Amino acid sequence: MNLFKNTMLFSFERLFRTTLGFLISIMLTKAYGIEVYGEYAYYFAIVNILGVTFSLGLDDYFIKCAAEGHKLPKFLLHLRIKLSGIAFFLCCIILYRNQAKIDFWIIAFLSLTYIWNCFYLLLIVVDKANKHKAIIFLISIGLFFLCLKFFLLKFGFLLFILITFFETLVTTFFLYVNVNNIFVSNKYQLSAIIKIVKLSFPIGLSSLSVMLFYRLDQMIVEHFLGVKILGIYALSASMILAAGYLQSAYVTSMYSAIGYAKNNGCISSVRVALTKAYRGSIFIGILVYIIYIIIGKISIKLIFPEISSQLISILNVGMLSVLFSGLAAINSQYLFFYNYSNKRLWRTLICLAFNICWNLILIPIYGIEAAVWGYVCTQIIMGLLFNIFDKTTRELFFLQMKSLIIFRVTDK
């Protein structure tokens, strides 16, 4: 499947998933209140953090190998599933210590299906016939469960979460069926596992750092400002992240192009692939922000009249991050492909430390606006500033600038 068709298919699916996520946010907020949505966002953030922590970077390793056309031993998949079990156990301990209501205990089970996102990204990068059928089926799953949630909404939040868990279970199974040919039966080798984990662990720490500055700010907001304000902030954050998903299908598709060029040992082809990736990311970001300005604000006022002024105030700033988040993701791909895992790790750790310090100091003074400005600044640092000051990746900054002014790129 060619890159354009692959990108368009998965961009459409991401757009559909974004729409579903937005509709579910509306349903939760309208049916159960902003406080329940805030508590849901708090525990969902914990599930995400634990899911990334106990992936040990294996998800990124899987995607890298698939992008380069390699097969993966099944014992690594089995290890990844067992790690999800550990994440589930720790999530249960946190819920117990927080004396969470029984409704929120079901959220812990989402830790067991967190691997669905890895399977989804594998489906994007692998060379597979009839991907459009898989996309149609994924959309059908989403529509079916959206309708089920809508019609059973009046029966309470517990049933809503149970349906969500069953949806992720079905999605995970379907995605695995579509990518299981990547995994081959090999003899269990402890030495191979240790070697791979040593390679992937810095990437895992890097991914965890990224996840923490996506989610930890929500916990800090809840600590200083309460669960209601967290609900508003989490709702706006979900819209920002959903907008970023439109970029991610394109950026993830470029894994294959960059990996192929790198494997061929042609540096000019790598530059072409990177320039195209940066250009697509930038222009998708601009398009997303324009759509938000023209349509998004009006929609928010109609759907959330009581809290629309607070949401728009946050989103006016937060949506700017979409211009830079794609650049940061491409930088990360480059560092991974060229075995600069430690450099990638240090970058994300620095950004995480910056984000935590920013939020702890400024949220008590300036409130929720400080959190969203901290998020945008972090994306600018990751997407641009590191490239400027790091000799290893300074060329990437020039490619970013080139992508804005040169519209036809060749490797000649």
Average pLDDT per consecutive 10 residues, the chain (412 residues; last block may be shorter): 59 72 81 84 83 81 79 85 89 86 85 86 76 83 90 89 92 89 76 70 68 74 83 84 72 70 74 86 89 90 87 92 88 80 82 90 92 91 91 89 68 48
Please count the CA atoms within 13 angstroms of the CA of 81 that sit on its side-chain side: 9
> What does each C-alpha distance from 57 to 60, 64, 90, 206, 284 come to in angstroms?
6, 11, 18, 8, 28
pLDDT confidence of residue 46: 84
- Residue 68 burial (CB count, 10 A): 16
The residue among 296, 304, 239, 251 whose CA lies nearest residue 278 is: 251
Burial readout 231-240 (b: 16 or more C-beta within 10 A, e: otherwise): bbbbbbbbbb
What six digits make up the tokens of 163? 């349906």
CB 18 within 8 A of CB 245: yes
pLDDT confidence of residue 412: 46
State the pTM of this model.
Answer: 0.70
Point out which residues pair with 183 in neighbouring strands: 72
CB 310 within 8 A of CB 232: yes
168 three-class SS:
helix
Distance CA 83, CA 118 (A): 14
pLDDT confidence of residue 74: 86
pLDDT confidence of residue 142: 87
- Estimate the crossing angle of helix 157-179 against helix 131-151, to 10 degrees: 170
Question: Which residues have a Cβ under 8 Å from the Cβ of 389 and sit 6 or more positions away?
Answer: none
Distance CA 97, CA 7 (A): 44
The residue among 356, 381, 380 whose CA lies nearest residue 370 is: 356
57 three-class SS:
coil
Burial readout 259-295 (b: 16 or more C-beta within 10 A, e: otherwise): bbbbeeeeeebbbbbbbbbbbbbbbbbeebbeebeee
The residue among 27, 29, 24, 45 whose CA lies nearest residue 232 is: 29
Question: Side chain identity at 326, as an amino acid letter?
Answer: G
